[in-house]
Amino acid sequence: MAETTKGPAKAANAAGAVKTAKTAKAVKDVKALKKDLPTVMVLTTGGTIAGKGEAGKSTGYKPGAISGADLIASVPGLEKIAKIRTKEVCSVNSDDITSKIWTDLASRINDLTKDRDIDGFVVAHGTDTLDETAYFLNLTVKTEKPVVVTGAMRPATSCSADGAMNLYQAVATAAGKEAAGRGVLVVFSDRIFAARHAVKASTYLVTGFEGGDMGAIGLIRDDVPYFYGTSEKRHTVSSEFAVKKADKLPLVSVIYFNVDADPELLKFAAARSDGLVIAGAGGGEFSKKFARVIERLEIPVVVSSRIGRGIIVPHALLCKNTVSALDLPPQKAAVLLRLALMKTKERSELVRIFSEY
């Protein structure tokens, strides 16, 4: 009886040895693959992408309730496209983002980019002010390594939450060499935008971001980005703006013009601000009463449009002491003016800066 069992036992042992060898080879292959993967630093700031609330619902949640580490762990397949490092910069609703957080974030990226092992950066951010933060970073980070900003329109606990896919695609974009040297990018719902052009365009749609008149500069499907354009304006390493963590930015207020808007608001804001941005009607228009006050202001005034598309034609400005924001929306004109005022208050220089950035 013992003689008859030797054959099957020997075969079973041989099969086990083959299986063990295959497993060992697979583990070795995975380790080799991971060794060759690019390294992406994910910097988290809170927002809806890290939001938590009642299961299934997309409103009434707490932004920034999920830690950066847990956020990364929630994205399936991320470990197959990049080696991930993560740092939590803050954990807030993006309406509570401050210029102090901006300078901290830019300083961190500028310090971390010296690490040769880091190939790209992703900033996870709330969507309400994401476009402002992305544009600020576009003007202040000093690297050609990819820097990608993303977020989510729905909290992680909602039905069909969009954060995991957006974060996955942002990491895939930041991990690729194709994104290098293009300035800061916004990746959202399968599309890639230049930070200068990206704006939040919906309060609820998962395709919540658009690129204005310029549109998207690329698309991403799964983990493969496809680029079709780039921003021609100065950014990152070609930008003249530099900030330190301790820097205090000048204060710029945005005044929205509407029918019967009180010109006294201009005086009130001017007394408390280093510069103003006017969100004018149409092509940067406002009332004669507004114009009379603006012409007497002693601080820089930039004119944009409340429409969010189109251009403010410089030679058609109603007040000759103002500066055209060109195609920048009011909130981004304010970002650029704050940085510009760290260098100059001269109108001619501000005109140059707004034309180049």
State the catalytic residues: 48
With helix as H, strand as E and coil as C, how does 316-336 read? HCCCCCEEECCCCCHHHHHHH
How many other C-beta atoms are found inside a 10 Å radius of the C-beta of residue 102?
Answer: 22
d(CA 19, CA 42): 38
d(CA 203, CA 332): 19
How many other C-beta atoms are found inside a 10 Å radius of the C-beta of residue 205?
Answer: 11
> How large is the greatest C-alpha to C-alpha distance in the chain, in angstroms?
111
> Please, are residues 228 and 194 in contact by the beta-carbon 8 Å criterion?
no
3-state class (DSSP) for residue 305:
strand
How many other C-beta atoms are found inside a 10 Å radius of the C-beta of residue 73?
Answer: 14
CA distances from 230 to 195, 212, 233, 235, 317 (A): 10, 14, 9, 11, 29
